[in-house]
Chains A and B, each alone.
Chain A
Amino acid sequence: MPKINVDGKDLIANDGESILNVCERNGIYIPRYCYHPSLSVAGNCRMCLVEIEKMPKLQTACSTIASEGMVVKTDSEKVRKARKDVLEFLLINHPLDCSICDQVGECFLQDYYFTYGLRKSRFKLENKNQKQKRREVGKYLVLDNERCILCTRCVRFSNEVTKTDELFVNSRGDRAFIDISPEKGVTNKYSLNIADICPVGAFTSKDFRFKQRVYMLQTTKSICTLCATGCKINIWHNNNTIYRITPEPNIYTNTWMCDDGRMNYKIVNSSERLTHSMINGTEYNKRQTVKQVFNKLSKAMDDKLRIAVVLSNYLSIEDNISLIYLAKNVLKTPYIFSIESNQQKIEDGILINSDKSPNSNGIKLLVKKYGIKDISEYAEYDIVIGFYEDIKNLRISLVKTILFSYKKSSYPCLIALKTYFETDGSFINWQGYLRKTAKVVNSPENTFDLHHFLMEVSHLFAVYPDFNFKGIIKDLKYKEEGQ
């Protein structure tokens, strides 16, 4: 554990830790372009140069390992000048058309210029280097090579994270540009991370560009529900509209996220969205729906039909608890089942899980707590209540169903639900961490929070629940971050 001194402060470094990281841990920010905590060190942008006593030249903080007794200056005259000079070099061939660039607001070139540069351009020549503009890269990205500062974060991402080696630096000197391996193309499932890590406006997201300035957007932390990995995410939204999703890097689950997860928000306003409950081809509003379902169920109970309630790995713990409550206390049916989830495994070695449901582990805990059986043990029911996605997995003949869904489909009785972006809910990811989705936008008027809907049905049966979700969830054996 070497002791070093940075700007007069004595700091203790971990063995093998770079100066940049030691400083970062202790609240001293060193500007950088090529350095990224999750990629290898390239040391090429020269923005993080610091002064170290006894070394004649300035050193890059990202690549210099802290060693005993080092005296580092991160804010000396020499360092400030070096930063200014590097910025000047970066900007001479950069198109200064910020007003029409989509990176504004999260552009490190712009931000650092205001913090460290602020020098009037001395580049008075007419002939700026011109490079390829607006190149389509894969399904989700656009590349503007003129804006590129050649930090090579994107190249290292494709080499080290996805290991697909699609990107490389072509040519050399100031003619160098980011190019795409012709036989590969950018087809990896994580391509939008490149737009995130690009410190300037070279790589932008086709989906997001020119929709909103980032400083107009609010971010809300949530989780991705597209598979059991349960990545932590930031949802960027404004005026009741979601514009993009980016990962919220954390040490527990994810630094990156997949492209499909980012596009997941599109369901909110998609044409496939179920905005009204549909029963036998008729649209119903909220009040009517509750009434209809109540009638159906009470008739079934009078006729002594066998009603099965199927818990869903896709629904939150709250919704599943409500389903159990409905089955046990309202319908008084013994037929409560769970569906076995797929095997949980990171199938591509990065993030995508082979289990596509977000809450399998939550269900496992509920199954244990309430002694619920797997559905494969039973065969024939008169009415099945469950989530529409699960129906294809049910190996039983179906007479009648009452299904919850947020997507349109051909089943006769569909109850319209709020999406993961419109309601709060608790999920337990494949590692056992309890995480919550957050409500970021308002839902269409006639969609339900599932647990509210179930409670309303109970009320019509004159059953008034006396539990709270918090208490039940607290008793479940989930892991907490930091443990």
Chain B
Amino acid sequence: MKIILEKELFDIKTYITNGGYNAIKKALTMTPQSVIDEVKKSNLRGRGGAGFPTGLKWSFIPKDKSQKYVVCNSDESEPGTFKDREIIHKNPHSIIEGMIIAGYAIGATKGYIYIRGEFVREARIIEKTIYEAKESGYLGKNILNSGFDFDITVVRGAGAYICGEETALLESIEGKQGKPRIKPPFPATKGLFSSPTVINNVETLAAVPYIMIMGGEKYSRIGKEKSSGTKLFSVSGPVNKPGVYEIELGLSFKDFLENYLMGMKDGVKLKAVIVGGSSVPVITADEAMKVNLDYESLSQAGTMLGSGGMIIIGDNQCMVEALYILARFYHHESCGQCTPCREGTGWIYKLLSEILSGKCKEKDIDLLYEIAENMMGRTICPLADALSMPVMSFVKKFRNEFDKHIEGSCEICQR
């Protein structure tokens, strides 16, 4: 099974000749409940970052006849993550097909694709894909004479990272400022336009057609028991072959680094890895060599699989500077609703720029850690956690580099 084939499945003809849109044909012969059951059996977990079981998410939608929505989250904007873009480029029809199946399963007739504002080309691709699917009768009224209607609208974001958070995304589609909502109510009961809504990541939806063809049972045997299927990793950093890779979950990092990424660049030693996008805790090279790339192994190592945006950090990179860059991002992207996040991200950013330029004392590093600790788990959405986790792990694991900045003796960035 491969979501991204070597060949590009850009247009509908190639997609169909490669078995595309067979999954929806199969799904339409089943009852919606059995489609959900099939996805449940596959143990597919959300690929956006939180890893929530997809089938379970779908089953929360009330079974009445009210208006429901399927929303595809294509607001991929976490530093280090660029896997969804690859799916949109290479296999856009699988997203559409996944959405139709999701719509059929939960009884929705309307879908939205919320696409990152900077994805201009990608938005055009999606528009074209939807047009093709409509022309071929896979979208619109009475799909394949089954009596099931489904339509998709593309909504483009305006550049806010926070709109990737599902409730902020819904606010944004509704035309409001992208600010996360308090939960509960969860989107499954009160989502888009106050209707029950399923929100899935691009990669999750793209996996659904393959599950339908293959059967949930068989899909669940790929990878590990609790981390089934394949996962895209978008790798950046000083490795010989950075890029997007689709691997079976459970592969060891060591194997991945040596046989897929072809090792580190000459003269650079591995220092640290941010495994699942910039918001997860960093792990050291030693820790990385012991982990497998699946949900369980990574959480045991104190980090998360996240979105699969893997950032490899070599020994030629100053960790303080790396954290400073992350903090600048999260400070810029905090929506400003919750006090700890609004003030905390700004404080951390300011403090880090002082530490970076050597204007601080040692106790400021402890303060930095404490600020991060005070932000953790105290806000409506996880954006505060997304900065505090890197800060805490960077300080804990690379304290010596922070100390060097206090002394003014960092030999990497010469500051």
Contact A172 B343 (CB under 8 A): no
- State how many angstroms separate the Cβ of A354 from the closest Cβ of chain B: 35
- State how many angstroms separate the Cβ of A15 from the closest Cβ of chain B: 15
CB-CB < 8 A to B367: which residues of A?
Answer: 122
A184 vs B347: C-alpha distance when bound (angstroms): 35
CB-CB < 8 A to B350: which residues of A?
Answer: 125, 127
Contact A58 B378, CB 8 Å, known A89-B344, A125-B354, A174-B346: yes
CB-CB < 8 A to B336: which residues of A?
Answer: 150, 169, 171-176
CB-CB < 8 A to A172: which residues of B?
Answer: 160, 162, 177, 333-336
Contact A41 B339, CB 8 Å, known A127-B350, A174-B345: no
- State how many angstroms separate the Cβ of B347 from the closest Cβ of chain A: 6
The residue in A44, A82, A149 that gathers the most chain B C-beta atoms within 10 A of its C-beta is: A44
For B300-343 the 0/1 string (1 means CB < 8 A from A) is 00000000000000000000000000000001111111111011
A223 vs B335: C-alpha distance when bound (angstroms): 42
Contact A150 B342 (CB under 8 A): yes
Contact B380 A173 (CB under 8 A): no
The residue in B182, B343, B374 that gathers the most chain A C-beta atoms within 10 A of its C-beta is: B343
Contact A174 B378, CB 8 Å, known A46-B338, A127-B350, A169-B177: no
**Interface residue SS majority, chain B:** helix
A337 vs B162: C-alpha distance when bound (angstroms): 68
A422 vs B95: C-alpha distance when bound (angstroms): 75
Residues of A36-93 whose CB lies within 8 A of B: 41-47, 49, 56-58, 60, 63, 65, 82, 85-86, 88-90, 92-93
A129 at the interface (CB under 8 A from B): yes
A113 vs B334: C-alpha distance when bound (angstroms): 25
CB-CB < 8 A to A171: which residues of B?
Answer: 336
Contact A149 B335 (CB under 8 A): no
Contact A174 B334 (CB under 8 A): yes
Residues of A124-151 whose CB lies within 8 A of B: 125, 127, 129, 149-150
A464 at the interface (CB under 8 A from B): no
Contact B347 A173 (CB under 8 A): no
Contact of B331 among A65, A150, A173 (CB under 8 A): A173
- State how many angstroms separate the Cβ of A133 from the closest Cβ of chain B: 19
Contact A129 B337, CB 8 Å, known A44-B380, A60-B182: no
B292 at the interface (CB under 8 A from A): no
Determine the residue in chain B with the shortest Cβ distance to A86: B339
A123 vs B343: C-alpha distance when bound (angstroms): 11
Contact of A89 among B333, B339, B377 (CB under 8 A): B339
- State how many angstroms separate the Cβ of B225 from the closest Cβ of chain A: 25
- State how many angstroms separate the Cβ of B246 from the closest Cβ of chain A: 33
Contact A46 B343 (CB under 8 A): no
Contact B347 A85 (CB under 8 A): no
Interface size class of B (residues with CB under 8 A): 20 to 34
- State how many angstroms separate the Cβ of B183 from the closest Cβ of chain A: 9
CB-CB < 8 A to A46: which residues of B?
Answer: 338-340, 378-379
Contact B380 A89 (CB under 8 A): no
The residue in B160, B332, B333, B380 that gathers the most chain A C-beta atoms within 10 A of its C-beta is: B380
B351 at the interface (CB under 8 A from A): yes
- State how many angstroms separate the Cβ of B362 from the closest Cβ of chain A: 14
CB-CB < 8 A to B177: which residues of A?
Answer: 168-169, 172
A89 vs B379: C-alpha distance when bound (angstroms): 13
Contact A173 B334 (CB under 8 A): yes
CB-CB < 8 A to A168: which residues of B?
Answer: 177
Determine the residue in chain B with the shortest Cβ distance to A129: B346
Residues of B174-212 whose CB lies within 8 A of A: 177, 182, 184
Contact A89 B343 (CB under 8 A): yes
Determine the residue in chain B with the shortest Cβ distance to A65: B184
- State how many angstroms separate the Cβ of A289 from the closest Cβ of chain B: 62
CB-CB < 8 A to B334: which residues of A?
Answer: 172-174
CB-CB < 8 A to B160: which residues of A?
Answer: 172
Contact A173 B346, CB 8 Å, known A43-B182, A63-B182: yes
Contact A173 B342 (CB under 8 A): yes
A45 vs B379: C-alpha distance when bound (angstroms): 9
Contact A86 B331 (CB under 8 A): no
A89 vs B177: C-alpha distance when bound (angstroms): 23
For B132-176 the 0/1 string (1 means CB < 8 A from A) is 000000000000000000000000000010100000000000000
Contact A58 B377, CB 8 Å, known A89-B340, A122-B367, A125-B351: yes
- State how many angstroms separate the Cβ of A27 from the closest Cβ of chain B: 26
Contact A89 B332 (CB under 8 A): no
CB-CB < 8 A to B343: which residues of A?
Answer: 89-90, 92-93, 174
A65 vs B136: C-alpha distance when bound (angstroms): 48
Determine the residue in chain B with the shortest Cβ distance to A172: B336
Contact A85 B338, CB 8 Å, known A127-B350, A174-B345, A174-B346: no
Contact of A44 among B332, B339, B354 (CB under 8 A): B339
Contact B335 A173 (CB under 8 A): yes
Residues of B343-370 whose CB lies within 8 A of A: 343-347, 350-351, 354, 367
The residue in A49, A125, A129 that gathers the most chain B C-beta atoms within 10 A of its C-beta is: A125
CB-CB < 8 A to A82: which residues of B?
Answer: 378
Residues of A151-181 whose CB lies within 8 A of B: 168-169, 171-176
Contact A45 B182, CB 8 Å, known A86-B378, A173-B334: no
Contact of A176 among B333, B342, B374 (CB under 8 A): B342
Contact B339 A173 (CB under 8 A): no
Contact A49 B339 (CB under 8 A): no
CB-CB < 8 A to A43: which residues of B?
Answer: 182, 380
The residue in B160, B331, B340 that gathers the most chain A C-beta atoms within 10 A of its C-beta is: B340
Show 7 A/B contacts (Cβ-Cβ < 8 Å), sorted by A.
A44-B380, A46-B378, A47-B339, A89-B344, A125-B351, A129-B346, A173-B345
- Given pairs A85-B340, A172-B162, 19 additional interface contacts (CB within 8 A): A44-B380, A46-B338, A49-B378, A63-B182, A82-B378, A85-B378, A86-B339, A89-B347, A93-B346, A125-B350, A149-B339, A172-B335, A172-B336, A173-B333, A173-B336, A174-B331, A174-B342, A175-B336, A176-B336
Give chain B's interface residues, CB within 8 Å of chain A. Answer: 160, 162, 177, 182, 184, 331-340, 342-347, 350-351, 354, 367, 374, 377-380
- A-B CB proximity, top 7 nearest: A176-B336, A89-B343, A174-B346, A85-B374, A173-B334, A43-B182, A57-B377
